[in-house]
């Protein structure tokens, strides 16, 4: 879904991806903006990814992309968005010594987001984001406290109470550990959701996430339709 776009005034544009994500670079950041955002002088160039919908799909894709580029995560924010639903959008700013690595990171991340967004689900009563990955890199470590090179699982659903039941189910289904969590007023942005980040053996993590997915999905269906992947009902 990544689009190429050529415009003489748009040197920053790299591409777009699912969840109304746009990926950009700033080849050489303005010194006043740099200071304002407390970005160290080592980072001359920035990679910026920002979306209306999603949190972990983007975090996981960027974590993976950052393994192939000389970049560091400098800013991570989870605004309340999801375009009228009650989950997150996101802002990721990564710094690097040169624009080539930043652009490479954005390009790889956009591809990864298009794949990972398959597991962001929304319908008229609720939303879910469910992911697992075999090996967490530096970004997932930084954001969710995931041990490096270990499996990472992400269980998110709304309205908030549904995710509490899903989290309880996930923990009973497999031998995993919670390494991060959020409720509307804790670690989140007053979104109507609960999130757990988990680690453990890859098999256990995937079982826990899929069990949570089934539970949350059935509960949302109890008073609405089955939540659909955002890839199937909007770009």
32-91 binders of a copy of itself (CB under 8 A): 32-33, 36-37, 46, 48-52, 75, 77-81, 83-86, 89, 91
* In the complex, least distance from residue 172 CB atom to a copy of itself, rounded to whole angstroms: 5
| Contact track, a copy of itself, 114-153, x by CB under 8 A | -----------xx---------------------------
Strands 72-77 and 45-51, sheet pairing? unpaired
208 counts as binding a copy of itself under rule CB under 8 A: no
231 counts as binding a copy of itself under rule CB under 8 A: no
* In the complex, least distance from residue 203 CB atom to a copy of itself, rounded to whole angstroms: 18
Of 144, 215, 227, 230, the one binding a copy of itself (CB under 8 A) is 215
Radius of gyration of the chain (CA): 18
What is the rounded CA–CA span in Å between residue 194 and residue 88?
12
Of 115, 159, 210, 231, the one binding a copy of itself (CB under 8 A) is 159
Using CA atoms, how far residue 234 sits from 4, 18, 56, 60, 230, in Å, is 20, 8, 18, 21, 6
Residues 6+ apart with CB under 8 A from 96: 43, 44, 45, 46, 47, 69, 70, 71, 72, 102, 105
Q: Are 166 and 215 in contact (CB under 8 A)?
A: yes
Using CB under 8 A, which of the segments 59-67, 132-140, 201-209, 215-223 binds a copy of itself? 215-223
């Amino acid at each position: 879904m990544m689009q190429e776009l050529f415009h003489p005034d748009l040197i920053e544009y790299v591409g777009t991806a699912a969840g109304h994500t746009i990926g950009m670079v700033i080849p050489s950041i303005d010194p006043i903006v740099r200071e304002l955002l407390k970005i160290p002088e080592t980072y001359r160039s920035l990679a910026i990814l920002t979306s209306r919908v999603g949190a972990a799909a983007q975090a996981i894709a960027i974590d993976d992309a950052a393994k192939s580029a000389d970049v560091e995560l400098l800013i991570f924010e989870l605004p309340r968005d999801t375009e009228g639903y009650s989950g997150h959008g996101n802002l990721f700013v990564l710094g690097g010594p040169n624009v080539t690595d930043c652009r490479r990171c954005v390009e790889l991340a956009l591809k990864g987001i298009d794949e990972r967004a398959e597991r962001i689900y929304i319908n008229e009563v609720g939303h879910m984001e469910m992911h697992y990955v075999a090996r967490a890199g530096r970004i997932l470590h930084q954001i969710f406290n995931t041990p490096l090179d270990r499996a990472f699982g992400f269980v998110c659903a709304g309205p908030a109470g549904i995710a509490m039941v899903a989290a309880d189910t996930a923990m009973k289904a497999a031998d995993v550990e919670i390494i991060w969590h959020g409720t509307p007023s804790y670690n989140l942005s007053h979104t109507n959701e609960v999130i757990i980040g988990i680690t453990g053996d890859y098999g256990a993590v995937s079982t826990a996430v899929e069990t949570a997915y089934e539970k949350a999905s059935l509960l949302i269906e109890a008073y609405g339709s089955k939540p659909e992947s955002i890839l199937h009902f909007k770009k």
